[in-house]
């Protein structure tokens, strides 16, 4: 009897350890986990429509919920004193409810956002399992937020086709835009021929478009039709968005954020609407942002420990980033400052670091500039060429004065929290770059009706959060901290100022509403989250005064409201937009 009891205990322990090992393995390799989640999701959901999940997708999804419940109850049943009969009853009920829910979903016209419910159930089960094992620590809370961020991006790309809420993409088969760039490489196995100025958007460097074309070939190789495969291109940009989330987390970890500080910073990026929208945008924005974040992270690593490995990674991030979108150059001045700082500090070893920097240049410069050099030599295309719209375009706002565009914050501009873009249903064309920045950060250029209260909650909490991030940056710029030394402060300040100044210059050189978009300054969202996290950390501690604790609590509440509003709003878009409650 004792031997049998011991054997059962060992079996239970082995099972529990195995599940723990699987969970630990997933959380220890988040980029690999992201790739697998994207691949599996595409295999399940690619054949659905923009309105609903396919029958196969529904069956697999809710089968997973049932199996997860079975595993959870079986592993934890005895430990919680639940008898075998009760376990069987619970499992049976969950399986019955899951398949009834599947049947119900099948009858609905739109059911995309209900996928978040399934993900939520699985998440709650894991959270409770971790709690029972006393493992619901900061790291596992981050992992849960990571999964929820993935689910939110997934449902977004499932209800957003490659023809909806895109930027400069066009339509596949139209012969222009990023879509035709991808399609040409897909069909010809070659880069665009001729003067790249003759076809809209073909002036961009080709890395993103090459990767998307290769991805299309891989999808169609499995028998998927081309029309379905083009929807699969969004799974690649969703993967980039998840990698950006991982890189952001590593940046937060570099500054030794812990507890509520890192949870708050991470949640901002996990649930920020900009990263959700860009996960479904098949232009080159998301990949270029990912490379910029990679350059920032590896510059921090190199500054802490200047190795060849780190500087090569910086070179690859900037070089490949500029091979994706030339605007990635904006990270270079800040990186150069860090290089110079380390060189001066280690001037007694100047040969060693000059060799590293020479290696950096040999990798970065050819990767980043070969496309521009090629186009200049063949067709005399200027290195800084960007196609502009004419003053005859209806969205031209150059008629407003500089003062109006920079300092006009008339309350009438906030009657609607959506970007005023007549083409997308707005009442006028947005002319203030700052207002456009705040609005597009929450909703891109879309103009929705029917969710006013939720939209206003998201917009104003997001605006307060942005102000809070800038205030934290200014506060920490002059405050001595143990994680943010002078060199890093200057590195971040240079990067922040260059990207933001470039945005405003761009808005005045090309005075059209479409240039007033958050997609040109996305890395600053991550830097803002860094400052918010460090500020929350510095305001904590037992020795802090009451007003410090109050400010910290308010900051955490604002982050929570922002994240919850984003989750509900972007689920609402999926469930209501297709049945007439929302007009896009």
Q: What is the average pLDDT across 91-111?
A: 64
Identify the band that residue 582 occupies on the pLDDT scale cut at 50, 70 and 90: very low
Q: Which of 10-14, 109-113, 252-256 has the lowest mean pLDDT?
A: 10-14
- Around Cβ 363, how many Cβ atoms within 10 Å? 19
Residue bearing the bigger pLDDT, 180 or 547: 180
pLDDT of 431 strictly over 80? yes
Residue bearing the bigger pLDDT, 340 or 580: 340
- Per-residue pLDDT tens for 13-50? 444 444 556 666 666 788 988 998 898 888 888 876 65
Contacting residues for 415 by C-beta, under 8 A, at least 6 apart:
none
Which among 530, 559, 529 has a CA at the least distance from the CA of 464? 559
Identify the band that residue 274 occupies on the pLDDT scale cut at 50, 70 and 90: very high
Alpha-carbon span 342 to 203, nearest angstrom: 36
Identify the band that residue 68 occupies on the pLDDT scale cut at 50, 70 and 90: low
Helices 138-159 and 2-28 cross at an angle (nearest 10°) of: 60
What pLDDT does 46 receive? 83
Alpha-carbon span 434 to 462, nearest angstrom: 13
Identify the band that residue 106 occupies on the pLDDT scale cut at 50, 70 and 90: low
Contacting residues for 401 by C-beta, under 8 A, at least 6 apart:
none
pLDDT of 579 strictly over 70? no
- Per-residue pLDDT tens for 181-208? 999 999 999 998 889 999 999 999 999 9
Q: What is the average pLDDT across 334-352?
A: 93
Sheet strands (E) in 334-451: none
Residue bearing the bigger pLDDT, 421 or 581: 421
Question: What is the 3-state secondary structure of 64-130?
Answer: HHHHHHHHHHHHHHCCCCCCHHHHHHHHHHHHHHHHHHHHHHHHCCCCHHHHHHHHHHHHHHHHHHH
Residue bearing the bigger pLDDT, 576 or 391: 391
Question: DSSP for 209-246?
Answer: HHHHHHHHHHHHTTT--HHHHHHHHHHHHHHHHHHHHH
CB 311 within 8 A of CB 357: yes
Percent of the chain with pLDDT over 70: 82
What pLDDT does 16 receive? 44
pLDDT of 107 strictly over 60? no
Q: What residues are paired with 396 via a beta bridge?
A: 512
Quick one: which H or E segment has residue 63?
A: helix 55-77
pLDDT of 472 strictly over 90? yes
- Around Cβ 389, how many Cβ atoms within 10 Å? 15
Residue bearing the bigger pLDDT, 467 or 107: 467
What pLDDT does 583 receive? 40
What pLDDT does 117 receive? 73
Identify the band that residue 150 occupies on the pLDDT scale cut at 50, 70 and 90: very high
What pLDDT does 2 receive? 47
Longest dimension (CA), the chain: 90
Q: What is the average pLDDT across 315-331?
A: 97
pLDDT of 9 strictly over 70? no
Which of 99-103, 210-214, 221-225, 342-346 has the largest mean confidence? 210-214
Residue bearing the bigger pLDDT, 521 or 119: 521
Q: Is 382 exposed, middle or buried (0-12, 13-18, 19+ CB in 10 A)?
A: exposed
Percent of the chain with pLDDT over 90: 60
Identify the band that residue 436 occupies on the pLDDT scale cut at 50, 70 and 90: very high
pTM of the model: 0.89
pLDDT of 7 strictly over 90? no
Q: What is the average pLDDT across 312-320?
A: 97
What pLDDT does 349 receive? 86
How much helix, strand and coil, in percent to the nearest 5, is found in the chain? 75, 0, 25
Alpha-carbon span 431 to 307, nearest angstrom: 47
Q: What is the average pLDDT across 560-565?
A: 96
What pLDDT does 43 receive? 83
pLDDT of 174 strictly over 70? yes
Sign of torsion over alpha carbons 366, 235, 523, 426 = positive
Residue whose structure tokens are 């209806």: 394
Q: What is the average pLDDT across 206-215?
A: 97
Domain spans of the chain?
Answer: 2-159, 394-584
Average pLDDT of the chain is 86
Q: DSSP label at 189?
A: S
Residue bearing the bigger pLDDT, 243 or 98: 243
pLDDT of 108 strictly over 90? no
Alpha-carbon span 252 to 146, nearest angstrom: 14
């Amino acid at each position: 009897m004792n031997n049998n009891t011991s054997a059962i205990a060992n079996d239970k322990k082995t099972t529990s350890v195995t599940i723990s090992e699987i969970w630990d393995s997933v959380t220890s390799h988040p980029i690999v986990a992201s790739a697998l989640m994207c691949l599996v999701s595409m295999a399940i959901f690619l054949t659905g429509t923009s309105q609903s999940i396919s029958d196969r997708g529904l069956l697999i999804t809710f089968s997973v919920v049932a199996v997860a419940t079975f595993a959870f109850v079986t592993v934890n049943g005895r430990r919680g004193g639940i008898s075998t009969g009760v376990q069987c009853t619970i499992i049976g009920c969950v399986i019955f409810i899951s398949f009834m829910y599947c049947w119900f979903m099948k009858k609905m016209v739109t059911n995309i956002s209900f996928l978040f419910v399934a993900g939520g159930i699985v998440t709650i089960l894991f959270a409770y399992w971790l709690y029972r094992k006393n493992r619901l620590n900061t790291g596992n809370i981050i992992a849960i937020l990571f999964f929820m961020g993935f689910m939110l991006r997934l449902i977004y790309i499932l209800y957003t086709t490659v023809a909806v809420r895109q930027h400069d993409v066009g339509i596949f088969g139209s012969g222009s835009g990023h879509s035709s760039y991808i399609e040409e490489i897909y069909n010809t196995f070659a880069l665009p021929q001729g003067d790249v100025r003759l076809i809209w958007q073909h002036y961009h460097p080709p890395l993103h478009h090459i990767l998307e074309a290769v991805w299309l070939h891989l999808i169609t190789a499995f028998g998927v039709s081309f029309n379905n495969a083009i929807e699969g291109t969004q799974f690649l940009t969703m993967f980039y968005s998840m990698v950006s989330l991982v890189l952001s987390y590593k940046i937060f970890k570099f500054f030794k954020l812990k507890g509520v500080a890192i949870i708050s910073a991470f949640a901002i990026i996990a649930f920020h609407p900009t990263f959700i929208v860009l996960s479904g945008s098949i232009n080159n924005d998301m990949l270029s942002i990912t490379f910029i974040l990679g350059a920032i992270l590896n510059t921090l690593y190199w500054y802490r420990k200047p190795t060849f490995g780190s500087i090569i990674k910086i070179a690859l991030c900037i070089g490949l980033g500029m091979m994706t979108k030339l605007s990635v150059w904006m990270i270079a001045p800040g990186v150069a400052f860090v290089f110079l700082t380390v060189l001066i500090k280690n001037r007694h070893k100047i040969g060693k670091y000059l060799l590293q920097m020479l290696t950096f240049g040999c990798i970065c410069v050819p990767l980043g500039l070969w496309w521009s050099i090629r186009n200049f030599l063949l067709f005399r295309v200027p290195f800084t060429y960007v196609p502009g719209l004419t003053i005859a375009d209806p969205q031209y706002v150059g008629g407003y004065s500089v003062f109006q565009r920079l300092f006009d914050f008339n309350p009438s501009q906030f009657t609607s929290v959506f970007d005023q873009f007549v083409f997308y249903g707005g009442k006028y064309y947005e002319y203030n770059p700052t207002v456009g920045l705040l609005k597009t950060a929450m909703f891109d250029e879309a103009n929705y009706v029917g969710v006013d209260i939720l939209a206003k909650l998201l917009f104003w909490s997001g605006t307060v959060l942005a102000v809070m991030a800038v205030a934290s940056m200014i506060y920490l710029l002059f405050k001595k901290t143990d994680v943010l030394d002078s060199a890093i402060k200057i590195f971040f300040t240079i990067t922040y100022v260059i990207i933001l100044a470039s945005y405003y210059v761009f808005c005045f050189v090309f005075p059209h509403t479409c240039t007033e978009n958050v997609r040109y300054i996305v890395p600053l969202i991550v830097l803002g989250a860094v400052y918010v996290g460090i500020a929350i950390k510095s305001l904590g501690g037992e020795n802090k005064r009451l007003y410090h604790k109050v400010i910290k609590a308010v900051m955490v509440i604002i982050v929570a409201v922002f994240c919850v509003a984003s989750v509900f709003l972007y689920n609402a878009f999926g469930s209501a937009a297709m049945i007439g409650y929302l007009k896009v």
